[in-house]
């Protein structure tokens, strides 16, 4: 019997029970267990033959804590699936919610870029996503939050972002500076086409905009410091993105940015780790065997102990599959591999109520078939104690009411 048992629960106290699963529990690894949930919380994890108002028979499926995804921007493809083709934001976000839950993501930070560009990453899109999430958020199955990716040269947005921080509309602030990279790529036809398509500008307009932004570089440091101060005062986690050197990481740390997101090299990641900070890398990097931008190899970083969390980045299925791949390749034992996509993200964001299966934790639980011919598959997703996703083509799971 698991030592995490909080005592036998009467059926009348349990809204949802999951019986006969192999649960990943802190300090014990994967153990045979029954789970009991009341409202949105886990109240028991034992082998006590738990039943509740509703009961799922797990038939030996893995029960895992839900994925906590700190950085995902695949939703952009639902907002604009083709160049210049936009869809209603509410429709897009509802579909994103289904994709998140199907891939085991129960807490998602949408990486919304607020750039100096117009179009997909401009103000109108950011405001529309914020407003849509606030309007439909209670209808979504996934606990969906905003990871505001502030482009540092977007200095005119300072007052607005500070206002959003004070209003509590942002869940994570990230410091991004892609201007130099964009300047270097303007002579590459395929990259210039990408930039013009998402911004709606023609090539000459886009080049002129980049030049104007470069002329405002002297304003960036003071604006960045003031925004970080506002975030620190609000208790908001701050990440710096694509840190290129240990010195850059040190500078952002001094502003209160204690999350090192997608560092460009091992030296920078190591500097963050030695300072006790979270290092967030992309799960697609694990699946592909390296970075698509020829930067830090996430798999090697994990081997060297230079990663504390993996994010879906641009591909929602990546988190689930990356954890299993790290285990199958014997890079990490399974509890440590899964922690990279669940507990690691929760700790980085300061969310102490999720990321593990234990009494008192939020009832975000995945039932996973690890032996599917399609690779590991999420059979069911419970988020906040509610069954929000169910796909059991192989007939692994049975459900019945016992009330």
Can you give the residue ranges of every domain in the chain?
11-65+355-401, 67-349
Length of the chain: 403
Task: Let me know: does 389 contact 104? Beta carbons within 8 Å.
Answer: no
Say how far apart CA 222 and CA 43 lie, in whole Å: 48
pLDDT band at 3 (very low <50, low <70, confident <90, very high): very low
Does the pLDDT of residue 49 top 80, yes or no?
Answer: no
Task: Let me know: does 223 contact 152? Beta carbons within 8 Å.
Answer: yes
pLDDT band at 399 (very low <50, low <70, confident <90, very high): low
Q: Quote the pLDDT of residue 5.
A: 38
pLDDT band at 395 (very low <50, low <70, confident <90, very high): confident
Q: Quote the pLDDT of residue 95.
A: 97
User: What percent of the chain lies above the pLDDT cut of 70?
Assistant: 95
Q: Quote the pLDDT of residue 396.
A: 79
CATH topology agreement for domains 11-65+355-401 and 67-349 = no
**pTM strictly above 0.75:** yes
Tens-digit pLDDT profile for residues 336-345: 999 999 999 9
Tens-digit pLDDT profile for residues 98-151: 999 999 999 999 999 999 999 999 999 999 999 999 999 999 999 999 999 999
Topology classification of domain 67-349: TIM Barrel (3.20.20)
Instruction: For residue 82, give the 3-state DSSP assignment.
Output: strand
Q: Quote the pLDDT of residue 11.
A: 52
Q: Quote the pLDDT of residue 7.
A: 41
Tens-digit pLDDT profile for residues 4-48: 333 444 555 889 999 999 999 999 999 999 999 999 999 999 866
Q: Quote the pLDDT of residue 401.
A: 41
Topology classification of domain 11-65+355-401: Urease, subunit C; domain 1 (2.30.40)
- What DSSP assignment string belongs to 93-160? HHHHHHHHHHTTEEEEEEEEEE-SS-GGGSHHHHHHHHHHHHHHGGG-SSEEEEEEEEETT-GGGHHH
What mean pLDDT comes out for the span 357-386?
96
Say how far apart CA 152 and CA 189 lie, in whole Å: 25
Q: Quote the pLDDT of residue 52.
A: 73
Look up tokens 């299925």; give the residue.
317
Cα–chain center distance at 165: 19
Tens-digit pLDDT profile for residues 219-270: 999 999 999 999 999 999 999 999 999 999 999 999 999 999 999 999 999 9
What mean pLDDT comes out for the span 314-323?
98
Does the pLDDT of residue 83 top 90, yes or no?
Answer: no
Give 239's strand partners: 174, 259
Say how far apart CA 183 and CA 187 lie, in whole Å: 8
Task: Let me know: does 340 contact 310? Beta carbons within 8 Å.
Answer: yes
Q: Which helix (H) or strand (E) holds 181?
A: helix 179-185
Does the pLDDT of residue 91 top 50, yes or no?
Answer: yes
């Amino acid at each position: 019997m698991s030592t995490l048992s909080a005592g036998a629960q009467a059926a009348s106290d349990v809204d949802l029970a999951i019986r006969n699963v192999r649960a990943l529990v802190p300090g014990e690894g994967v153990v045979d267990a029954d789970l009991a949930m009341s409202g949105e919380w886990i109240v028991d994890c034992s082998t006590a033959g738990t039943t509740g108002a509703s009961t799922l028979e797990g038939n030996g499926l893995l029960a895992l804590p839900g994925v906590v995804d700190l950085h995902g921007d695949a939703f952009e493809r639902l907002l604009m699936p083709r160049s210049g083709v936009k869809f209603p934001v509410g429709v897009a976000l509802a579909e994103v919610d289904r994709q998140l839950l199907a891939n085991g993501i129960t807490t998602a930070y949408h990486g919304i870029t607020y750039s100096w560009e117009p179009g997909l990453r401009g103000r109108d899109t950011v405001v529309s996503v914020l407003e849509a999430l606030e309007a439909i958020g209670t209808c979504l199955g996934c606990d969906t939050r905003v990871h505001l990716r502030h482009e540092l040269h977007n200095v005119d947005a300072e007052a607005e972002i500070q206002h959003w921080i004070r209003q509590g509309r942002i869940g994570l602030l990230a410091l991004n500076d892609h201007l130099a990279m964009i300047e270097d790529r303007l002579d590459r036809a395929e990259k210039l086409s990408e930039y013009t398509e998402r911004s709606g500008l023609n090539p000459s307009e886009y080049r002129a905009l980049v030049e104007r932004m470069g002329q405002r570089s002297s304003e960036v440091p003071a604006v960045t410091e003031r925004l970080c101060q506002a975030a620190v005062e609000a208790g908001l986690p701050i990440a710096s993105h694509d840190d290129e050197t240990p010195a850059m990481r040190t500078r952002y740390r001094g502003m209160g940015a204690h999350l090192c997101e997608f560092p460009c090299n091992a030296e920078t990641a190591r500097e963050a780790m030695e300072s006790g900070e979270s290092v967030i890398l992309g799960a697609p990097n694990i699946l592909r065997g390296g970075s698509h931008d020829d930067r830090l190899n996430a798999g090697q970083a994990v081997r060297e102990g230079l990663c504390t969390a993996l994010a879906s980045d641009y591909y929602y299925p990546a988190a689930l599959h990356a954890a299993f791949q790290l285990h199958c390749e014997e890079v990490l034992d399974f509890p440590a591999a899964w922690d990279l996509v669940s507990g690691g993200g929760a700790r980085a964001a300061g969310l102490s109520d999720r990321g593990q299966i234990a009494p008192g934790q939020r009832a975000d639980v995945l039932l996973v078939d690890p032996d599917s011919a399609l690779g590991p598959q999420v059979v069911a997703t419970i988020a906040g104690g509610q069954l929000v996703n169910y796909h059991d083509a192989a007939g692994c799971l049975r459900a019945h009411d016992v009330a």
